[in-house]
């Protein structure tokens, strides 16, 4: 097992990464000590892992909330149902909400935990690659609005993240590929050495080699932990973690939540951000091909879905990074170096989207 620490003074917490962690009842009980637990999971994950987590806490008051699977479940009505269950079963302020699943489960559980009695603990037990390397770390919790992704939420850090790489053995290929988009992101924004490691090892990751997966997860979590520790509430540096997301969130919302996976949309968004970086004179043109090649080698799409370019740019205007009416984008200066810019006009973005040659 490897442990990465997120350093946030009194709200610091560990990310434990290793095999068999969800099967180790003593370890789970040591990491999650509340006497009252609400385990939130979904219909896909529950048959695989709920019993082993539930059985670990047979001496505690444990309640379970099972969601249907899908991005569309990350909604205010589902949030309300979780709150209703916490109230009905008389959960106290020292209870812990346990998120057992992917990003939807983690984001929704965290937002409910942030809101119930003005904040209770929550633990992240991520079971997808995307959640293990990104959404479970950093305390961003949210639900979607029909018009825009993650528009309603709160910053609320978990008390612990337990990433069991054994869960990736049951992950659908498409979900594994989607998680690799967020892994590639770290290489692009801040870690050129890791980007080149990914170029050499993407095949091992696709084959689910345990050593390669654990290394990629640990490096991704280390990189994200450093950013979160420096800028917890996204006032500056943390926005770099949104490379490709401004494009991607617009694509997700316009396509209908769940039709295209978050990681797939981010992959297309990163390619578009790289194209924009070249078009605006930031990224050397010769670095575009390796970026596109790695995204494609990870089994991720480069082709835009059939959406009107003007609608994509208009929807990007709802992005949370917009300030004083100005759209801010994360763009690349080089592989391994990114910056947040506000000097790209909607017309320039439209021109890039219209001319984009998705492979």
78, 238, 315, 328: which is the annotated catalytic residue?
A: 238
Please name the residue that has the structure tokens 């990914």.
198
The structure tokens listed for 303 are 């082709």
Q: How far is CA 351 from the centre of its chain?
A: 29
Q: Pick the catalytic residue: 78, 156, 224, 292? A: 224
Distance between CA atoms of 137 and 131, rounded to whole angstroms? 8
144 is catalytic: no
Annotated catalytic residue, options 10, 118, 235, 347: 118
- Of the candidates 269, 223, 278, 279, the residue with the CA atom closest to the CA atom of residue 243: 269
Burial group, residue 317, by CB count within 10 angstroms (0-12, 13-18, 19+): middle
Is 193 tagged catalytic?
A: no
Annotate 133-176 with three-state secondary structure. Answer: HHHCCCCEEEEEECCEEEEEEEECCCCEEEEEHHHHHHCCHHHH
* Given 185, 262, 292, 320, the catalytic residue: 262
Residue 182 annotated to the active site: yes
Q: Which of 78, 140, 282, 292 is catalytic?
A: 140
Known catalytic residue: 347? no
Question: Which one of the listed residues 149, 242, 264, 320 is annotated catalytic?
Answer: 242
Q: Is there a catalytic annotation at residue 118?
A: yes
Q: Which of 149, 156, 177, 249 is catalytic?
A: 249
Question: Active-site residue among 74, 185, 245, 320?
Answer: 245
CA 327/CA 341 separation, integer angstroms: 9
Measure the CA dihedral 193/198/199/201, to 10°: 130
Indicate if 224 belongs to the active site.
yes
Name, in order, each residue with C-beta under 8 angstroms of 38's C-beta and a sequence gap of 6 or more: 62, 63, 64, 65, 82, 85, 86, 89, 91, 95, 96, 97, 98
Among the listed residues 234, 252, 264, 275, the single catalytic one is 234
Rounded distance between C-alpha atoms, residue 87 and residue 103, angstroms: 24
d(CA 188, CA 283): 11
Helix 309-316 / helix 346-355 crossing angle, nearest 10 deg: 140
Q: Rounded to 10 degrees, what is the CA torsion of 221, 227, 232, 237?
A: -150
Q: Which of 175, 182, 232, 264 is catalytic?
A: 182
Q: Which residue(s) pair with 38 in the sheet?
A: 63, 97
Catalytic residues: 118, 140, 182, 224, 234, 238, 242, 245, 249, 262
């Amino acid at each position: 097992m490897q442990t990465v620490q997120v350093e946030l003074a009194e709200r610091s917490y560990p990310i434990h990464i290793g095999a068999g962690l969800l099967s180790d009842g003593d370890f789970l009980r040591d990491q999650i000590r509340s006497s009252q637990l609400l385990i939130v999971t979904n219909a896909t994950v529950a048959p695989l892992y709920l019993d082993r987590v539930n059985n670990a806490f047979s001496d505690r008051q444990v309640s379970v909330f099972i969601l249907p699977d899908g991005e569309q479940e990350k909604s205010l009505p589902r949030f309300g149902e979780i709150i209703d269950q916490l109230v009905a079963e008389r959960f106290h302020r020292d209870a812990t909400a346990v998120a057992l699943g992917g990003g939807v489960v983690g984001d929704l559980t965290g937002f409910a935990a942030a809101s119930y009695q003005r904040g209770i603990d929550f633990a992240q037990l991520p079971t997808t690659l995307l959640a293990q390397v990104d959404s479970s770390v950093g305390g961003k919790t949210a639900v979607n609005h029909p018009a825009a992704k993650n528009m309603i939420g709160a910053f609320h850090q978990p008390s612990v993240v337990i990433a069991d790489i054994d869960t990736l053995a049951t992950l659908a290929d498409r979900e594994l590929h989607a998680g690799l988009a967020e892994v590639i992101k770290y290489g692009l924004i801040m870690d050129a050495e890791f980007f080149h490691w990914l170029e050499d090892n993407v095949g091992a990751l696709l084959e689910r080699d345990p050593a390669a997966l654990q290394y990629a997860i640990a490096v991704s979590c280390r990189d994200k932990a450093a950013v979160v520790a420096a800028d917890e509430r996204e006032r500056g540096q943390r926005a770099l973690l949104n490379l490709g997301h401004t494009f991607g969130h617009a694509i997700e919302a316009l396509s209908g939540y769940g039709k295209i996976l978050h990681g797939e949309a981010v992959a297309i968004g990163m390619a578009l951000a790289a194209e924009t970086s070249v078009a605006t004179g930031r990224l050397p043109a010769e670095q575009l091909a390796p970026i596109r090649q790695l995204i494609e080698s990870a089994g991720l799409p480069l082709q835009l879905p059939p959406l009107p370019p003007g609608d994509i740019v208009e929807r990007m205007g709802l992005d949370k990074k917009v300030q004083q009416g100005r759209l801010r984008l994360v763009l690349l200066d080089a592989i391994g170096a990114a910056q947040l810019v506000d000097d790209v006009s909607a017309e320039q973005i439209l021109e890039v989207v219209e001319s984009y040659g998705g492979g």
